[in-house]
Amino acid sequence: MISEMSFLERIVYLLQNYGMSFLQGAGATLAIAVVSTIVGCIIGFGVGVVQTIPVDTKRDSLPKRVLLRIVKIIFKAYVEIFRGTPMMVQAVFIYYGAAQVFDIHLGMWQAAFFVVSINTGAYMAESVRGGIISVDPGQMEGAKAIGMTHFQAMIHVVLPQALRNIVPQIGNNFIINIKDSSVLSVIGVVDLFFVHKSVSGALYTYFESATIVMCIYLVMTLISSRLLLLWEKKLDGNDNYELVDTMGVGTQFGQDGKGRL
């Protein structure tokens, strides 16, 4: 019967009969993207900060230098491996390989969140490292000059400035995770793409189902992009601001940098 319908009629038929399944798949995709991006950012910030810790051959003890060197090598290998291999291969390797070789049986959803999180962490680590390097070194030197430790200066001075440069990459990774989570269907994760495969395989409506799924992905990414742009503008602050001197006279500065009393 469905083969006798027109293209639009088949789309309406799929939405009427499988619309809830598509929405549930979209919800699973969003959940994976949101949680994994947050966890990946935490991993990336940790790895990125460690990679930028300087080694002082005069002040640091030999055990500290050796330990830091080993940790940096491990983190570097982690970043290169997960940035240099496809996420689909990582999912198969971790989900099936861990059970076969190490007798570690991860659940389907556990493997999904783990794979996307560590993959995101690898990309974020390089973004964080680049963001930290982009901050003027004088900021760190000035913070240490007033008695801050390297950790304190990093948390209170450098990272807040680097965050503004990193925000676009966080948004990019989130949007990428929305799309790339589709590869997790290879380990049976019931996300939006898995629903598409199930519906199209049962009814042979590949084009119609793919059209619906593409529209849902597009809506999710467009809304996410808009929200991230609003976040960036929020971090930029106001176009005009006031500096108040000790005499209580406010001077307003605009984007042209000219003061007006």
Give me the residue spans of the domains in the chain: 2-260
pLDDT of residue 238: 64
DSSP type of residue 84: S
Local confidence band at 250 (pLDDT 50, 70, 90 cut-offs) = very low
CATH number at 2-260 = 1.10.3720.10
124: nearest Cα among 183, 184, 36: 36
Residue 205 near residue 199, CB atoms below 8 Å:
yes
Local confidence band at 240 (pLDDT 50, 70, 90 cut-offs) = low
49: nearest Cα among 141, 145, 144, 121: 121
CA atoms within 13 A on the CB side of 144: 9
Residue 220: both structure tokens together: 């999710």
Residue 21 near residue 173, CB atoms below 8 Å:
no
- Alpha carbon distance 127, 216 (integer Å): 29
235: nearest Cα among 126, 154, 175, 160: 160
> pLDDT tens, 173-218?
999 999 999 999 899 898 999 999 999 888 888 999 999 999 999 9
Contacting residues for 249 by C-beta, under 8 A, at least 6 apart: 261
Alpha carbon 118 to chain centroid, angstroms: 10
pLDDT of residue 253: 46
> pLDDT tens, 40-57?
999 999 999 888 888 777
pLDDT at 36 over 70: yes
Alpha carbon 249 to chain centroid, angstroms: 44
As beta bridge partners, residue 252 has 242, 260
